[in-house]
Structure 1
Amino acid sequence: MNRNQVLPQVQLSADPSALKRVDFCAPQSFKGAGFLSILELPRLAEEASTVVPGDGFNWNVETHFEGSPGSDPLQILELGLKGRLHLVCQRCLQDCSVDLAEQRRFILVSTEAEADDYPLEDEEQEPLVVSQQFNLLETIEDEVLLSIPLIPKHPEGFCEPHASVFGDDEGEAAADERENPFNILKNMKKN
């Protein structure tokens, strides 16, 4: 490919079915943006505690070629995600809205072997194996799933711990009345 060659830029459709088959192998760059509701991302919908109208993710994608002298240019994919979903707060066990905003950068490779050979130290970009029928919708959903906090919870002061998680007052009083098993050792030391 000639370095001075200007590649055509293809506008990606925001239709979820069109995102399931993008030809990233073609010598062109891509640009697109849109909104995906939670219901259009089935694995994410399983994680959500409730689906509220308007919950979902704005996405934007842009690819370009970067090269260094003496080597073939590398195709780079920039992915931006911003949105909201509802999860169960692990402090109060009630619904809690979680806002996510992510920027990801991928280097597009054509084989699994190229991806395996990519240096692990490069934390700024990850290899992504592409094909003529690449499922961009699945990649967007994967990145949202990876962005979900392990322990979702409301901000400090917005909820109280649920009684079944930490016990109630009656349970604490019964625990205090139970005899400490180490009291026997304490009495043995006195004798």
Structure 2
Amino acid sequence: MNRNQVLPQVQLSADPSALKRVDFCAPQSYKGAGFLSISDLPRLAEEASTVVSGDGFHWELETHFEDSPGAEPRQILNLGLEGRLHLICQRCLQDCAIDLDEKRRFILVTTEEEAEDFPLEDEEQEPLVVSQQFNLLETIEDEVLLSIPLIPKHPEGFCEPRASVFGVEDDEEAPVERENPFNILKNMKKN
């Protein structure tokens, strides 16, 4: 029996403060969409190098119940995130726009024990422990933070790394040739 047809569907508010307390334990499905600016996501704002008008993330969420062989149907949460933020390019140390387009699938569980018992082999979906006052805004921010690259960079060929030597001004000539470090060790051994 498909429970989606008998359960009501709740439309989530797009207001960030309303996303801080969502009751995912109620026997109903949820649907919602909205836009979160960088200022709505304080941990992400700390990572951003600059905030340009329009930076932020469109989110889309839908839950449904899926039959589980030999068990009660499980509630599935599908979360889509699409947006942009600015980080420092690690190649040229200039501002760099990072576009993200992520889709996540979670199985909603009510206890940490259920989450720990969830098979690790299933990479398509992961368990998410929910409650009657679940902070969906924090989960959205977590997923954006997990999606940003560890080493943000402009696309290949867009920026040129500047060769600089510590303590040498740009207009001074930097030393071109360095002594081989193995020669230094060889000379130390002789002495």
TM-score for both structures, normalised by structure 1: 0.88
Classify the secondary structure of the residue corresponding to 2:176. helix
What code does the residue aligned with 1:175 have?
R
Change (3 A) 1:66 1:4: closer
Report the AA paired with residue 117 of structure 1: D
DSSP 3-state at the match of 2:149:
coil
Structure 1 residues 183 and 173: CA distance shift in structure 2, 3 A: farther
Partner secondary structure for residue 84 of structure 2: strand
Matches within 5 A, 1:38-49: 38-49=38-49
What is the CA–CA distance in structure 1 between the aligned matches of 2:64 and 2:181, rounded to whole Å?
Answer: 68
Q: Which amino acid aligns with 1:20?
A: K
1:181 maps to which residue? 184
Identify the range of structure 1 (156-165 vs 14-23) with the bigger mean alpha-carbon deviation: 156-165
Whether the aligned pair in 2 keeps the contact of 1:93 and 1:162 (CA below 8 Å) is no
Structure-2 residue corresponding to 1:118: 118
1:29–1:178: structure 2 CA closer, same or farther, 3 Å change rule?
A: closer
Correspondence for 1:16: 16
After TM superposition, give the deviation of residue 175 of structure 1 in Å: 2.1
- Work out whether residues 63 and 76 of structure 2, in 8 Å CA contact, stay in contact via their aligned partners in 1: yes
CA distance in 2, matches of 1:78, 1:65: 11
What pairs with 1:160-171 in structure 2 (closer than 5 Å)?
160-164=160-164, 170-171=173-174
Task: Report the more deviating stretch, 61-70 or 118-127.
Answer: 61-70
SS at match of 2:30: strand
Partner of 2:81: 81
* Superposed displacement of residue 37, structure 1: 0.4
Give, in whole Å, the separation in 1 of the partners of 2:3 and 2:39. 42
Distance in 1 (CA, whole Å) between partners of 2:28 and 2:136 is: 16
- Structure 2 CA distance for aligned equivalents of residues 178 and 116 of structure 1: 50
- Of residues 67-76 and 145-154 in structure 1, the stretch that sits farther from structure 2 once superposed is 67-76
The answer (yes or no) to whether the contact 1:84–1:100 under 8 Å persists in 2 is: yes
Deviation digits for residues 146-166 of structure 1 (CA, Å, limit 9, x no counterpart): 000010000011101133489
Percent sequence identity is 78
Between 1:67-76 and 1:32-41, the stretch displaced more is: 67-76
Equivalence for 2:99? 99
**Secondary structure at 1:75 match in 2:** strand
Paired residue total: 187
TM-aligned CA deviation for residue 8 of structure 1: 0.3
Q: Deviations over 1:104-146 (max 9, x none)?
A: 0000000001101111111010000000000000000000000
In the alignment, is residue 36 of structure 1 matched against residue 36 of structure 2? yes
SS class of match (2:58): strand
CA distance in 1, matches of 2:10, 2:74: 18
Deviations 1:9-45 (A, max 9, x none): 0000000000000000001000000000001000000
1:102 to partner: Cα distance: 0.3
Q: Which runs of 5+ in 1 are unaligned?
A: none
Tell me which residue corresponds to 1:146. Answer: 146
TM-score between both structures, scaled by the size of structure 2: 0.88
